[in-house]
A and B are shown apart, each in its own frame.
Chain A
Amino acid sequence: MKKSVTIYINDKPYQVESGQTIMQAADKLGYHIPRLCYHPKLSIEGACRVCIVEVEGMKNYVASCAYPVAEGMRIRTHTKELRTARRDIVELILDNHPDDCHTCERDGICELQRLAYAMGLRHRHFEGEKKNYEKDLSSASVIRDPNKCILCGRCVRICSEVQKVNALGYAHRGFKTVVMPAYNMPFSESVCTTCGQCINVCPTASFVEKNYTQELFEKLQDPGYIKVAQIAPSVRAAIGEAFGLEPGRAMERETVAALRKLGFDYVFDTQLSADLTIMEEANEFLERVKNNGRLPMITSCSSAWMKCMEQFYPDLIENISTCKSPMSMMGALLKTYFADKIKKEPKKILSVAVMCCTAKKYEAARPELRVNGLPAVDIVVTTREIAWMFKSAGIDFVNIKGEDFDKPLGLSSGAGTIFGVTGGVMEAAIRTAYEIYTGEPLMEIEVNQIRGLQGIKEGKLDLNGTEIRVAVAHGLGNANALLNTVRQDPGRYHFVEIMGCPGGCIGGGGQPYAGSNSTPLDEECLKKRAEALYGLDRQKIIRRSHNNPDVRRLYKEFLGKPLGEVPHKLLHTHYKAKEPRGIVSQEMTLR
């Protein structure tokens, strides 16, 4: 039990628990002290100084995000002087920020904009020189615009603390301070894994995804293409939030309908290729178990994780499943099987992936994933981008009448659905591997031991007397901890699932920005998104990948057998160690 102390906020006495900060205590009491650099998931920075309060007896203001409550403390949250100081601080930030709100990507959903409004900034007093840097457009996924950076440090912190990638840091001093990759080299050559979490936490538009919406709008008008979309599982779990809906409302059939209205000829489901991934991956795993192959086998669906692995864990390449990600499997099928089926030239197929992920843009550009010389996926757009496109095209997404996916690549099992949430790939694989190995269906189909938002989860499975130990990590920082265990004790697990983003794909770098009343990466929000996917799984009659009739037909008509010759060519790939320039994260390289 924590000690209780009496504090006074604006002269009103309150009993609060000791050991918490003024901000935490005030939040619970209904005082939302304005803030900017603070983020509940990250370390305390105390940098922006927006959350300052007056504490009686203190000469200076204190940052409420960092200062602990104490017995008898008298706090004032909005005196005249304090409000002026806060207003001036926000003006100072704004004075060194481009005045281009109307043409900014985050217009209307920008934390700085909201704050300036709330602080009552109606005119300027201190304007002067503004910073002027080049945008970094080099990355396939993430654009860095230092001009919009307000140096809150959230990106730096999420990259080092949550993801442990350390792609970003501060350089220079004073007014010239800027956040950049090591040696200010292009983002594309840095250790950035393109996970896009910096975008999620950035309060402004200093980090945004590389935008392909204009190109997509143009191509959708081009009669020379057959336009095909695939949708990742997590997109449907979050897209509603971009339209003001509560988190957790699954918008599957609505998204299909909206994509058709946007101009797509076919809308397929990445969940089907997730089922396919399971067919291949489960068999690959069982092969490894039977033939004493390299274990633990580690999943390969997450693009950010793959880049991370190539950079920081090249020693584990042999452990990585050779399966392509569901997106790339679907892309490969579109340019072969599907093109044949509709009797079109593969290059006439416009393969578009709607993803919750920024790293998928990087994955789509990987040369080794091309199929017969063509990119498997031509354009990747994020949940945010497609939501904007719906708005731009005047599609009434919230009230739209839902439609079904197209055939033949639109039917998926519940196992494919849960691919979007941490633990889901493992659970799906277990559902199938168990049945292949034992010949009997897994009765406890919901594998609760690997569900939830705990950083690292472990589970055990009994395969006819053989104990299979599995582990799951989400977020590259948790992955780091888990993989260090694997390095030290390779025999500890048989199968490991890694997803690059916190919460898995549902927390991907391309998901809608947090609304005005939530914080990015909010755990409650992630839980609701996860629940949306688990709900969809529960509603399905087919919940095991190998029972998906369309997948079965696909093997029968085209692919042959799992791990066979055609799958080997189209559905599997290989990885190579990468040595990015710059500073490699210490935690990552420590053996």
Chain B
Amino acid sequence: MTRDFVITLCDGPSCMQKKSKELKEAVEKELEKHNLANRVRINISGCLGMCKNGPVVVINPLYTLYGQVTPADIPEIIQSHILKNKPLKRLAIEEDHLYNRFFRVFGDVNFFGKQMRITLRNCGIIDPESLDDYLSVRGYEALAKVLSGMAPQEVVSEVKKSGLRGRGGAGFPTGIKWELTAQQNSDEKFVICNADEGDPGAFMDRSTIEGDPHTVIEGMIIGGYAVGAKKGIIYIRAEYPLAVKRLQKGIAAAKAQGFLGENILGSGFSFDIEIRLGAGAFVCGEETALIHSIEGHRGMPRPRPPFPSVQGLFDKPTLINNVETWANIPVIIIDGAEWFSSIGTQKSKGTKVFALAGKINNTGLVEVPMGTTLKEIIYDIGGGIPNNKKFKAIQTGGPSGGCLSEEYLDTPIDYDSLAKAGSIMGSGGMIVIDEDSCMVNIAKFFLEFTQNESCGKCTPCREGTKRMLEILTRLTEGKGQEGDIEKLERLGNMIKKSSLCGLGQSAPNPVLSTIKNFRVEYEEHIRDKKCRAGACSAMAVYEVTDKCVGCGVCKRACPVKAISGAPKAMHEINQDKCVKCGLCFRNCKFDAIIKKG
């Protein structure tokens, strides 16, 4: 039945936290009240990428976006938008950033603002749990095209021509991986989707699957056909229950309709997909560790070669790609490699999804063509830094990426430029850092993560990052020594060049890049025992200024009795006793206590 309106409610993690469920109930109630159930359909979508404005509601066909909607707003929206067909101005979001109306129909290539959605093309448009919805946006057409008229080698060469590179982080040319796997002679081959998204704060893959599971499934079937595999495995972390559920539903629906299983679309080609849950180890995103994990072993990487394409899962040739990579495949097949390769830079084609986070106005998911500059993302899409703070650095590539300073803001985002600047593309984490953050502390934070998540197999990563972390810790505690920076560099460079897998090879990046771009902060920590951002509390000095009225609040708050002073007279902090807890600073009602870095 055709309906006049589709109301899409965002069910992404952020909106869910803001109680999007209650919204759904309110909408249902209101529709029932006006007897609109046959005119309006309710749609639950994955993350729409506008987390800041959540909960988000979209009403189609005009694609009106409403933000920060509460259940109390619903009657007004229905009244105005549905009954009077007049979008409600009060709650509608001006579409000036992050998320413009993107092409609603597959293949209609348009730039909306600075964003361009390929991976996320259907997210927010279709009901992810409805196969019909996916079909309505030309879903499984790519599969039909491949099975009805393309030889496996043609598919491989199409992917190769597209210039698509692995979106998991390393940026290995996808087509070459496919070609290598296809060339292997083996009785059995596998196709794996790496959905073990582990970077803290990153949720690109999760949102892709939650918003459009079929595109990943379709991509994998095409991959299986191209390389001659009959079995696909999606390795996804168990912390993503909604994504897992949608995949399960998607797989079941695709099977029921003959897109998956025996003799797909009558072509004689058979392919099946199985879901494997990961326990959430960061290192299992590394392909050989992931393979070990699927095999039932501890997730630990092994040296390559042999590459998985030659000897992978259960020692069989295995094609392993990341969620985002798979999601690009149907687009490449339908719109052609030539079109795809027209997007992006010379060596990096297509778009990339980033999880924009940190000190930035518009946090959320951003998909931009390769070649977009960091500045465009931060200021045009991201809306700049909140509270008029100064931009200090941008950290790209997740915990193993680097921190780039202001001078790199014009760097175009692609694999090679980011690497040249001293960072990495990674899987797409992007954290903006403002002047209130200490770069030593930031480096320590990321290294702590990689050290904890190191699989413990190779010496440089296991022992080396620990020693680096110890040095960083003493720096932030004001116990840095001359020579510490040199030690960090020596260890960092050795770990980068000697480690077994990508985790270790990139773990020192946050440290090395902050030393390179913010060396003076390190020096201040060591020589002046000073943290200019005031973030390293051990080095803070609290002082009473003449704003003090002698109220005595700080004196009572101080747990170590370091503050003295008669009532109504200016108080004083005994620096020898002070433990830098900051209670006086926070409790003073007159801003009379200042914190020096």
Q: Does B498 contact A (CB under 8 A)?
A: yes
Do residues B498 and A174 form an inter-chain contact, with CB atoms below 8 A? no
- Distance A61 CA – B303 CA, assembled complex (angstroms): 12
Q: Count the B residues whose beta carbon is within 8 Å of the partner chain — how many?
A: 34
- Of B456, B460, B500, most buried by chain A (CB within 10 Å of CB) is B456
Minimum Cβ distance to chain A for residue B435 (Å): 31
A89-97, A304-312, A337-345, A349-357 - the one binding chain B:
A89-97
Q: Does B321 contact A (CB under 8 A)?
A: no
Minimum Cβ distance to chain A for residue B454 (Å): 4
Q: Which of A63-122 contact B (CB under 8 A)?
A: 63, 66-68, 84-85, 88-89, 92-93, 95-96
Minimum Cβ distance to chain B for residue A228 (Å): 48
Partner of A170 from the list B456, B465, B499 (CB cut-off 8 Å) is B456
Complex interface: chain B residues within 8 A of A174 (CB): 451-454, 456, 462, 465-466
Do residues B494 and A88 form an inter-chain contact, with CB atoms below 8 A? yes
Partner of B497 from the list A85, A96, A151, A172 (CB cut-off 8 Å) is A85
In this complex, what residue of A is CB-closest to B282? Answer: A173
Known: A88-B490, A126-B491, A174-B453. A60 touches B496 (CB 8 A): yes
Q: Does A245 contact B (CB under 8 A)?
A: no
Known: A93-B459, A129-B466, A173-B453. A49 touches B487 (CB 8 A): no
Size band of the A side of the interface?
35 or more
- What 10 A-B pairs have minimum CB-CB distances, sorted nearest first? A177-B456, A46-B303, A66-B303, A92-B463, A175-B466, A174-B454, A128-B470, A126-B467, A85-B494, A60-B497
Do residues A175 and B451 form an inter-chain contact, with CB atoms below 8 A? yes
Minimum Cβ distance to chain B for residue A215 (Å): 37
Known: A60-B505, A129-B470. A68 touches B305 (CB 8 A): yes
Binding site for B on A (CB under 8 A): 44-50, 52, 59-61, 63, 66-68, 84-85, 88-89, 92-93, 95-96, 125-126, 128-129, 150-151, 153, 169-170, 172-177
Do residues A125 and B487 form an inter-chain contact, with CB atoms below 8 A? yes
Complex interface: chain B residues within 8 A of A52 (CB): 497-498
Q: Does B101 contact A (CB under 8 A)?
A: no
Known: A92-B460, A126-B467, A175-B463. A60 touches B498 (CB 8 A): yes
Q: Does B298 contact A (CB under 8 A)?
A: yes
Complex interface: chain B residues within 8 A of A153 (CB): 457
Known: A49-B458, A67-B305. 7 other contacts (CB 8 A): A47-B500, A50-B459, A85-B497, A92-B463, A92-B467, A173-B281, A174-B462
Query: 26 interchain pairs (CB within 8 A)?
Result: A44-B302, A46-B302, A46-B458, A47-B458, A47-B459, A48-B458, A52-B497, A60-B496, A63-B303, A67-B303, A67-B305, A85-B494, A89-B459, A93-B459, A125-B490, A126-B487, A129-B466, A151-B457, A153-B457, A170-B298, A170-B456, A172-B456, A174-B451, A174-B453, A176-B456, A177-B454
Q: Does B455 contact A (CB under 8 A)?
A: yes
Do residues A173 and B454 form an inter-chain contact, with CB atoms below 8 A? yes
Q: Does B261 contact A (CB under 8 A)?
A: no
Do residues B457 and A47 form an inter-chain contact, with CB atoms below 8 A? yes
- Distance A126 CA – B459 CA, assembled complex (angstroms): 14
Minimum Cβ distance to chain B for residue A190 (Å): 17
Mask, B519-556, CB within 8 Å of A = 1, is 00000000000000000000000000000000000000
Partner of B498 from the list A89, A95, A129, A151 (CB cut-off 8 Å) is A89
- Of B281, B453, B465, B500, most buried by chain A (CB within 10 Å of CB) is B500
Do residues B456 and A85 form an inter-chain contact, with CB atoms below 8 A? no
- Distance A34 CA – B458 CA, assembled complex (angstroms): 16
Known: A46-B458, A85-B494, A129-B470. A96 touches B463 (CB 8 A): yes
Known: A63-B500, A68-B305, A85-B494. A175 touches B457 (CB 8 A): no
- Distance A129 CA – B474 CA, assembled complex (angstroms): 13
- Of A84, A93, A125, A150, most buried by chain B (CB within 10 Å of CB) is A125
Q: Does B159 contact A (CB under 8 A)?
A: no
Q: Does B300 contact A (CB under 8 A)?
A: yes
Q: What is the predominant secondary structure among interface residues of chain B facing chain A?
A: helix
Minimum Cβ distance to chain B for residue A162 (Å): 17
Do residues A49 and B466 form an inter-chain contact, with CB atoms below 8 A? no
- Distance A150 CA – B281 CA, assembled complex (angstroms): 22
Q: What is the predominant secondary structure among interface residues of chain A facing chain B?
A: loop
- Distance A68 CA – B452 CA, assembled complex (angstroms): 32
Do residues B463 and A93 form an inter-chain contact, with CB atoms below 8 A? yes
Q: Does B464 contact A (CB under 8 A)?
A: yes
- Distance A125 CA – B488 CA, assembled complex (angstroms): 11
Mask, B273-291, CB within 8 Å of A = 1, is 0000000010100000000
- Of B305, B458, B460, B498, most buried by chain A (CB within 10 Å of CB) is B498
Minimum Cβ distance to chain B for residue A223 (Å): 53
- Distance A153 CA – B459 CA, assembled complex (angstroms): 12
Known: A46-B302, A63-B500, A126-B467. A173 touches B456 (CB 8 A): yes
Complex interface: chain B residues within 8 A of A129 (CB): 466, 470
Minimum Cβ distance to chain A for residue B283 (Å): 8
- Distance A478 CA – B228 CA, assembled complex (angstroms): 35
Complex interface: chain B residues within 8 A of A47 (CB): 457-459, 500
Do residues B467 and A128 form an inter-chain contact, with CB atoms below 8 A? yes
In this complex, what residue of B is CB-closest to A59? Answer: B497
Complex interface: chain B residues within 8 A of A128 (CB): 466-467, 470
- Distance A151 CA – B300 CA, assembled complex (angstroms): 13
Minimum Cβ distance to chain A for residue B186 (Å): 19
Known: A88-B494, A126-B487. A46 touches B456 (CB 8 A): no
Q: Which of B219-247 contact A (CB under 8 A)?
A: none
Do residues B455 and A48 form an inter-chain contact, with CB atoms below 8 A? no
- Distance A84 CA – B465 CA, assembled complex (angstroms): 17
Known: A89-B494, A128-B467, A175-B463. A170 touches B458 (CB 8 A): no
Minimum Cβ distance to chain B for residue A387 (Å): 32
In this complex, what residue of B is CB-closest to A174? Answer: B454
Complex interface: chain A residues within 8 A of B300 (CB): 170
In this complex, what residue of B is CB-closest to A156? Answer: B298
- Of A125, A151, A174, A177, most buried by chain B (CB within 10 Å of CB) is A174
In this complex, what residue of B is CB-closest to A127? Answer: B467
In this complex, what residue of A is CB-closest to B466? Answer: A175
Minimum Cβ distance to chain A for residue B517 (Å): 21
Complex interface: chain B residues within 8 A of A150 (CB): 459
Do residues A61 and B281 form an inter-chain contact, with CB atoms below 8 A? no
Q: Which of B431-468 contact A (CB under 8 A)?
A: 451-460, 462-467
- Distance A63 CA – B464 CA, assembled complex (angstroms): 17
Do residues B463 and A48 form an inter-chain contact, with CB atoms below 8 A? no
Complex interface: chain B residues within 8 A of A49 (CB): 458-460, 498-500
- Distance A95 CA – B464 CA, assembled complex (angstroms): 10
Complex interface: chain B residues within 8 A of A176 (CB): 456
- Distance A46 CA – B490 CA, assembled complex (angstroms): 22
Minimum Cβ distance to chain B for residue A16 (Å): 17
- Distance A67 CA – B487 CA, assembled complex (angstroms): 29
Minimum Cβ distance to chain B for residue A133 (Å): 14
Known: A68-B305, A89-B498. A177 touches B462 (CB 8 A): yes
